[in-house]
Amino acid sequence: MTSAALIALLCAVAAPALAQTKPAPPPGEFGNIRPPAPTSPFAKQAKSLLASKSFKVAKDALAAGYDQTVADIVTLTEIPAPPFGEAEKGKAYLAMLAKEGLTDLETDAAGNVMGLRKGTGGGGLLVVAAHLDTVFPAGTDVKVRRDGDKLYAPGVGDDTVGLASILAILRAINAAGIQTRSDILFVGDVGEEGPGDLRGMKELFLKGRYKDRIDAFISLEPSGPTVIVNGGVGSKRYKTTFKGPGGHSMGDFGTVNPAFALADAAKQFGELKVPSDPRTVYNIGLLEGGTSVNSIPFSVAMTVDMRSSGAAELKAVEDAYLAILPKAVEAENAARSTKRGPIVLDNRMVGDRPVGETPISAPFVQRIAAVGDALGKPMGYVAGSTDANIPMSLGKPAVTLGAGFVTFRAHSLEEGMEVNKARDVESIATTMAQILMAATPN
């Protein structure tokens, strides 16, 4: 869910480089879009990387391996990976990483799969990740259907193209014998989508054996190569349940009713004022409860989402929501009879994605941006909600980049992607150059 808006935006922002006719995205759709920064101080270095013989060999290998990359996308898409059900896909992906010569292969406690590509030293540890999970529940038909130059299947884009790009880039840099200074840990991670609540990243950065060693992070998501996600929109989600004694709508009339308490809280929540910059939003997305039209309910619930790219703003809207709830309960308990029992609150956090940002001026970002400058296609910057939120929130340099395919209708059963060798090889090569720039710091 979180990725849907991001992808819509990434695609919309990235599209102009690919198809000039696409309209610009609505401003502020997701975070606030910032224009390209001044030319990167590393542009010259990026230019010489792009012009190097070994990079050209790697790019030729991307082209030669393109059919394999498309085949990888089909193979991976057809292994279901619903939230909390990524194990089978993880196993298959780990085997694919192993074939590309990575060492230290492992599946961690959360189910992330990973392998290491050793660097020449002195460059620290860079993580390059794509997520295994999709939003689709178990039982969804994930068979890929090809129609001309388009592939259709739930999950074929998000984030299968990221997983396949990682394999393509690994093969290409191996074929060209390219060395990086940094060790690179390639990861297929779990729990990126809504219900997963970034649990793969929380394991990797807060508990796993690499937690203190990771210096920088890149994740790949479906989009073109002209956008850097350097801001992490945070979110807080609660399932708020109001419970009461219930009763007969006529016989027990006058008894406290949790639906009125919920309605009161919902109304007050809807009246909260939030800033537009940093863009801060809230929503009631789910309403549940009651048993019949002529019963006073025992229980009603709402599930709410609050988001902001500002930590203080997110906390402010969360605090305001949490303050509303007991007041609404108190008001209902005062308005009607509590003889059979009062209204009580059961409020549970069901989602917590921290806010974060890697400054545009950070050398890590500028090394990546340098590739766009060297190609004459300066990068735009945007805030999103991705795996990068976790390292960003910990102050580690982190961005999300385009995996290098054109995809559409993410998170829908009509999800699809286009197969266009010349264009896709250019895009994946750009991502490859960005990773190489990040993995060879001065």
Q: Is 264 in the site for Zn ion (CB under 5 A)?
A: no
Phi, psi angles (nearest 5°) of residue 132: -80, -35
* Residue among 159, 197, 387, 426 that touches Zn ion (CB under 5 A): 159
Amino acid identity, residue 22? K
**Window of 9-17, 76-84, 154-162, 183-191 that interacts with Zn ion by CB under 5 A:** 154-162
Nearer to Zn ion, 5 or 94 (CB): 5
Nearer to Zn ion, 198 or 262 (CB): 198
Q: Which residues pair with 130 in a beta bridge?
A: 188
Taking CB atoms, the residue at the shortest distance from Zn ion is 3
**Window of 106-114, 158-166, 268-276, 377-385 that interacts with Zn ion by CB under 5 A:** 158-166
Measured CA to CA, the distance from residue 103 to residue 101 in angstroms comes to 7
Minimum CB distance to Zn ion, residue 236 (Å): 20
Q: Is 158 in the site for Zn ion (CB under 5 A)?
A: yes
Q: Is 415 in the site for Zn ion (CB under 5 A)?
A: no
Which 8-state DSSP code applies to residue 188?
E
Nearer to Zn ion, 277 or 414 (CB): 414
Minimum CB distance to Zn ion, residue 158 (Å): 4
**Contact yes or no for 305/269 (Cβ under 8 A):** no
Minimum CB distance to Zn ion, residue 59 (Å): 26
Minimum CB distance to Zn ion, residue 154 (Å): 13
What does the block give as tokens for 94?
A: 């780990």
Minimum CB distance to Zn ion, residue 131 (Å): 6
**Window of 23-31, 156-164, 257-265, 366-374 that interacts with Zn ion by CB under 5 A:** 156-164
User: CB neighbours of 124 closer than 8 A, spacing ≥ 6?
Assistant: 182, 183, 213, 215, 216, 441
Phi, psi angles (nearest 5°) of residue 210: -95, 0
Closest Cα partner for 227 from 427, 93, 4, 22?
427
**Contact yes or no for 85/94 (Cβ under 8 A):** no
Nearer to Zn ion, 159 or 189 (CB): 159
Q: What is the dihedral of CA 222, 237, 318, 221, to 10 degrees?
A: -10
Amino acid identity, residue 297? P
Q: Is 3 in the site for Zn ion (CB under 5 A)?
A: yes
**Window of 101-109, 153-161, 240-248, 332-340 that interacts with Zn ion by CB under 5 A:** 153-161
**Contact yes or no for 296/257 (Cβ under 8 A):** yes
Phi, psi angles (nearest 5°) of residue 357: -155, 140
Q: Is 430 in the site for Zn ion (CB under 5 A)?
A: no
Nearer to Zn ion, 40 or 112 (CB): 112
Binding to Zn ion in span 42-81, by CB under 5 A: none
Length of the chain: 442
Minimum CB distance to Zn ion, residue 239 (Å): 24
**Window of 150-158, 168-176, 179-187, 365-373 that interacts with Zn ion by CB under 5 A:** 150-158
Binding to Zn ion in span 183-242, by CB under 5 A: 221
Closest Cα partner for 441 from 37, 52, 172, 120?
120
Phi, psi angles (nearest 5°) of residue 286: -140, 140
Site residues for Zn ion per CB under 5 A: 3, 158-159, 221
